[in-house]
Amino acid sequence: MELQYSLDKNLLRILLNGDYLGFDDNQSREDLLSQIRNGNAARIVIDAAGLRKWDSSLPALIFDLSTAADGRQIKLEYQNFPDSLSKLTELARLVDRKPDRRQEEKLPWLETVGSFGIAVTQAVAAGLSFMHQTFLSIGRFFAGSAVMRRVDFLFALEDCSYKAVGIVSLVSFMVGLILAFVGAIQLKNFGAQIYVASLVAIGMTRIMGAIMVGIIMAGRTGASYAATIGTMQVNEEIDALKTMGISTQDFLVLPRILALTFTIPLLTILADFMGILGGAAVGVGMLGISASEYWTYSLDALDMTNFTVGLFHGLVFGVIISLCGCYYGVNCGRNADSVGKATTQAVVSAIVWMIVATGIITLIFEVLGI
C-alpha cells in the first residue's frame, strides 16, 4: 500500500494500485504534496485502474491532493475512478469549509429606528399576552379547573424550598455581616456602635433580605425554569402537549409560579434572621457590644411594618422570577444555543425587573407613608 507516482514533462501521474485500507504512509504523502506545492507539475492525473479495496482514508488523501493542486492552480484529472469514490470525492470538494462571513445590510437610520420600535412593541405584546394567559391559569387553579398535576407542584416546591436554604443562609449571613461593618465605620465616629444592631435589623427586614433572596433565586431557580422548559421546547415536548390539547400555562408554568411564590416569603424570613445573626457576629465579636444589648436593640428596631414590606417584596420577586424563567423557556428556540440564551435572558430580565419593581414599590410606600 504505497503511493506510486511519476513526474514526466510537467505531468504528475499518481497510480492507485492494490488496497488502500487505513492508509497512514505520511512520508510518501508529504513527498507527493511537496511535489505539488513546489510547482514541479503543471498537470496532475490520478489513475485508479489498479485500485481494489479502499476505505475513508483514501478520499481524505485525494482531498488533500486536490486542495494542494487548487492552491497552485494546477489542473487535476481523475481516471478510472469507481462511481462510489468519484461521488465521495466530488462531495468533499463541494463542501465549503470556510464560508464567507455574512455581511449584514445596513438600513437607513429611519428604518433602523422603525425596526427597533416594531421589535420592542412585539416583545411587549408577547410578554403581556404571556402574563394574561398565566393569570387566567391562576384563576382556573382557584376555580378548580386547571390542568395541573400535584406531583409537578411538589417537585417544583422541593427544588425551590429546602434545597435553597443553604445558599440563602450563607449569603444572607455575609450580607448582614458586611452591612454591620459598613455601618460601624460611620457610627464609630459618633460613639454610637450600639445602633449597628438597629441598622442591620431594619435594613435586612425591610429590603435587603428580600433582594438577596430574589437575586439568589433568579440565578438558581429562574435559570432552572428557563433551561428545563427550553429543553422541552427543543425536544418538541411542548408541541406534543399542545397537540393533546393541554394548556402549557396550566401544565408547566402554573406549578412553578405557585411553588416559587409560596417559598420566597419563607426564604425571606430566613434571610432576615441570618442577616441579623451576621450583624451580631460583628457587633458582639468585634465591636464589644454584649449579646443581650445587641438583641435588645435589634428587637426594639424590628417593626411589623418593615417586616411586612420585606415579605411583600419577596412575594413580588417570586412572581417576577417565575414569570421571566417560564416566559423565556416557553419562547426558546429549537437548538442548544437557544437554551443557553434563554437561561441568560431569564436571569438578567428577572434581576432588572426586580430592581424596577423595588423602585416602584418604594416610591408608592413613600407616598403612602409606609
Contacts by residues 332-339 (CB-CB < 8 Å, ≥ 24 positions apart):
332/226, 332/229, 332/230, 332/233, 332/234, 333/233, 333/234, 334/233, 334/234, 335/234, 336/234, 338/230, 338/234, 339/226, 339/227, 339/230, 339/231, 339/234
> What is the spatial distance between Cα 15 and Cα 49, in angstroms, rounded to a whole number?
8
Together in a domain, 194 and 264? yes
Determine the Cα–Cα distance for residues 256 and 247; give it in Å rounded to an integer. Answer: 14
- Residue 104 lies inside a defined structural domain of this protein: no
CA distance 258 to 141: 10
- Whether 139 and 226 map to the same domain: the answer is yes
DSSP 126-147: HHHHHHHHHHHHHHHHHHT---
Q: For position 174, what pLDDT does the model report?
A: 93
Check residue 271 and give its pLDDT. Answer: 94
Confidence of residue 97 (pLDDT cuts 50, 70, 90): low
The verdict on residue 108 lying in a domain is no
Of 26-40, 47-61, 155-169, the poorest mean pLDDT is in 26-40
| CB atoms inside a 10 Å sphere around CB 336 | 10
Task: Look up the domain containing 148 and give its range.
Answer: 127-368
Higher pLDDT pick, 221 / 90: 221
d(CA 294, CA 253): 44
pLDDT of residue 60: 80
Q: How confident is the model at residue 186 (pLDDT cuts 50, 70, 90)?
A: confident
Q: What angle do CA 190, 191, 197 make, to 5 degrees?
A: 105
Is there a contact between 205 and 272 (Cβ–Cβ < 8 Å)?
yes
Percentage of the chain exceeding pLDDT 90: 32
Is residue 277 located within the same domain as residue 192? yes
- Are residues 72 and 143 part of one domain? no
Top-ranked range on mean pLDDT: pick from 63-67, 179-183, 232-236, 262-266: 262-266
Lowest mean pLDDT among 20-29, 142-151, 260-269, 349-358: 20-29
Q: Is the pLDDT of residue 357 over 80?
A: yes
**Average of pLDDT values for 180-194?**
79
pLDDT of 188 > 80? The answer is no
Mean pLDDT of 12-20: 78
Say what the pLDDT of residue 99 is.
55
Counting Cα atoms < 13 Å in the Cβ hemisphere of 193 gives: 17
Cell triple for 366: 413613600
296 is a domain residue? yes
Please check whether residues 17 and 85 belong to one and the same domain: yes
pLDDT band for 121, please (50, 70, 90 cuts).
very high
Query: If you average pLDDT over residues 153-159, what whole number do you get?
Result: 89
Helices (H) and strands (E) in the chain, counts: 15, 4
105 lies in some domain: no
Q: Say if 234 falls within a structural domain.
A: yes
Q: What is the mean pLDDT of the chain?
A: 85
Is 299 among the domain residues? yes
User: Do 169 and 318 have their domain in common?
Assistant: yes
- The per-residue pLDDT for range 262-272, each reduced to its tens digit, is 999 999 999 99
Specify whether 38 is located in the same domain as 137. no
Report the relative pairing of strands 11-20 and 4-8 from DSSP bridges.
antiparallel
The identity of residue 71, as a single letter, is: G
Q: Looking at 44, 75, 94, which one is the last position of a domain?
A: 94
Q: What pLDDT, on a 0 to 100 scale, did the predictor assign at position 8?
A: 74
The total number of residues written for the chain in this structure:
370
Mean pLDDT of 152-174: 90
Instruction: Give yes or no: residues 311 and 169 share one domain.
Output: yes
Interval 118-143 mean pLDDT:
90
Pair (192, 329) in one structural domain: yes
Do 134 and 90 belong to one domain? Answer: no
pLDDT at res. 102:
65
Q: What is the pLDDT of residue 319?
A: 93
In a domain, 21, yes or no: yes
Residue whose entry in the numeric block shows the C-alpha cell 412575594: 315
State the pLDDT at residue 265.
92
Residues 138 and 65 in one domain: no
Residue 61: CATH number of its domain: 3.30.750.24
DSSP state at residue 252: I
pLDDT score at 101: 63
pLDDT computed for residue 358 by the predictor: 92
Domain final residue pick, 94, 111, 145: 94
153, 207: one domain: yes
Best mean pLDDT range from 47-56, 111-120, 290-299, 341-350: 341-350
Q: Is the pLDDT of residue 171 over 60?
A: yes
pLDDT tens sequence across 305-324: 889 999 999 999 999 999 99
Question: What is the per-residue pLDDT across 340-351, written as a single tens digit (0 to 9) for each?
Answer: 899 999 999 999
Structural domains in the chain (count): 2
Question: What would the mean pLDDT of 197-208 be, rounded to a whole number?
Answer: 89
Last residue of a domain, one of 94, 117, 139: 94
The confidence band for 226, taking pLDDT boundaries of 50, 70 and 90, is very high
